[in-house]
Chain A
Amino acid sequence: MGLAKRIIPCLDVTNGRVVKGVNFITLQDAGDPVEISRRYDEQGADELTFLDITASSDNRGLILHIIEKVAAQVFIPLTVGGGVRHVDDVRRLLNAGADKVSINTSAVQNRQLVADAAGRYGAQCIVVAIDAKQVHGTGTKSAKWEVFTHGGRKATSLDAVEWAKEIQLLGAGEILLTSMNRDGTRNGFDLALIRTVSDAVDIPVIASGGVGNLDHLVEGILQGHADAVLAASIFHYGEYTVRQAKEYMAQHGIEVRM
């Protein structure tokens, strides 16, 4: 027996509440972040990821209070992302109780930020999030994926696989990889994307975007070669508990923490 594959519920947070976007247009309220964190912890979540999607900078401080509250009650790794621009943002989140900080747009704009943050706080707490969209071909052989920033609104012309390799060289400890084609569709991960990136790097890759049922989680590990799987909506609305997801993965021969 060895290292377990991780299941990571993701909480999109805005103005102090957990929300779930439906195709990025309407946001539905899904509850109180502290309450939801405790519930997922009790169900056996291996980590929790919080994405601060607050649009206005006025309310950005709210996420710090939420993380402080969660960290005092939930003793599993907490990752926080959204709006991280400076090493000082990393410091504030870690001091609030985050264990890892996820950097997306700013990593592309300023590669030195990743190197500086990893150098200062250690690779283990720096996650780089990649939002990738398929731009060419099909399958693992000919497909190409482009990196987008600013919540998927801005193309970068960066190739996702090359960017993943660069992130590793910059010193990041982990990659959170989201398929924009699949995000919100509930049709399953982009397995070709996940597998191509995961096989190309030595650091762990978290698969994200498109989970609609428990088979998708299994596929992400077995076919996508992901080290961890992230999902939001299947857990938020009580369709499945984290424990059910783990039991299902275990039935399919995947090592999980029960």
Chain B
Amino acid sequence: MTDIAIVDYGMGNLRSVSKALEHVAPTASIIVTSNPAEVQKAARVVFPGQGAMPNCMKEMDARGLRGAVLEAAANKPFLGICIGLQMLFEVSEEGNVKGLGILPGKVIQFTTMEDTSGQKLKVPHMGWNQVYQSAEHPMWKGIAKDTRFYFVHSYYVETADPEPVAGYSFYPFQFTCAVARDNIFAVQFHPEKSDIAGLTLLKNFVLWEPLIRR
């Protein structure tokens, strides 16, 4: 049985994600796959995403992966990264595309704003920002409370209720950058590119044993 399947729907490069997982779990069997059956067989699923969400949704469906992703999000340790977080929600402003609707809320575009000193805040929000942990969670184990992670995104999620929010950042206003519900944990930042903090989070995912609602 595969330990970890990284869902590949042809959007962007998943090598960084697999390399980082191999680094923290050298003995695990890790595959990058676009085959729904392989996703179903895996004990844990990583759901990444890059580029534009409408394309991500389209390519995921073109490969027939929707069912396998929904199933994984319902019954096994599931880690969403970047667009993989955004796709869990109901709808995105990016092309007005519908998401998977697993979590209530929408995906909204950053507009360029100024910080308190009057300097323009660029979009994409790119670089290392502090992540505040709004809930205790096994995925945050060993990660200090305001640790910086690497972000690159132009859209962010706005949850319909505060319950799934596990972490937030500021740019310049507060936005949700991590959500958790049951066996799902999803982050806007890139743990695979976030140095020691990111590797710690990935290691936590490999060891995470959430309660599964059946």
Q: Which A residues are closer than 8 A to B by beta carbons?
A: 1-6, 41, 46, 71-72, 75-77, 94-97, 99, 120-125, 173-174, 198-199, 201-205, 225, 227-228, 257
B193 contacts across to A, CB distance below 8 A: 75-77, 99
Query: Once the chains bind, are B124 and A203 in contact (CB under 8 Å)?
Result: yes
Is residue B52 contacting chain A, with contact meaning CB distance below 8 A? yes
Closest A residue to B170 using CB positions: A2
Is residue B126 contacting chain A, with contact meaning CB distance below 8 A? yes
Closest B residue to A91 using CB positions: B13
- Jot down 26 A-B pairs with beta carbons below 8 A, ordered by A: A1-B146, A3-B125, A3-B151, A4-B129, A5-B127, A46-B128, A71-B19, A72-B19, A75-B19, A75-B194, A75-B195, A76-B150, A76-B193, A77-B152, A95-B15, A97-B19, A99-B13, A124-B126, A125-B50, A173-B124, A173-B126, A174-B126, A198-B120, A203-B123, A203-B124, A257-B148
Closest A residue to B192 using CB positions: A75
Is residue B23 contacting chain A, with contact meaning CB distance below 8 A? yes
Query: Once the chains bind, are A202 and B172 in contact (CB under 8 Å)?
Result: no
Main secondary structure of the interface of A (DSSP, over half): loop
B170 contacts across to A, CB distance below 8 A: 1-2
A173 contacts across to B, CB distance below 8 A: 124, 126, 152
Is residue B67 contacting chain A, with contact meaning CB distance below 8 A? no
Q: A75-B16, A125-B12, A202-B120 are in contact. List 6 more A-B contacts (CB 8 A).
A: A41-B195, A71-B15, A75-B194, A94-B12, A122-B52, A202-B122
Report which residue of B12, B128, B151 has the largest number of chain A beta carbons within 10 angstroms of its beta carbon: B128
Is residue B153 contacting chain A, with contact meaning CB distance below 8 A? yes
| A46 vs B193: C-alpha distance when bound (angstroms) | 10
| A76 vs B16: C-alpha distance when bound (angstroms) | 10
Supposing A76-B150, A124-B50 touch, asked if A2 and B16 sit within 8 A by C-beta, the answer is no
Would you give the shortest CB distance from A222 to chain B, in whole angstroms? Answer: 9
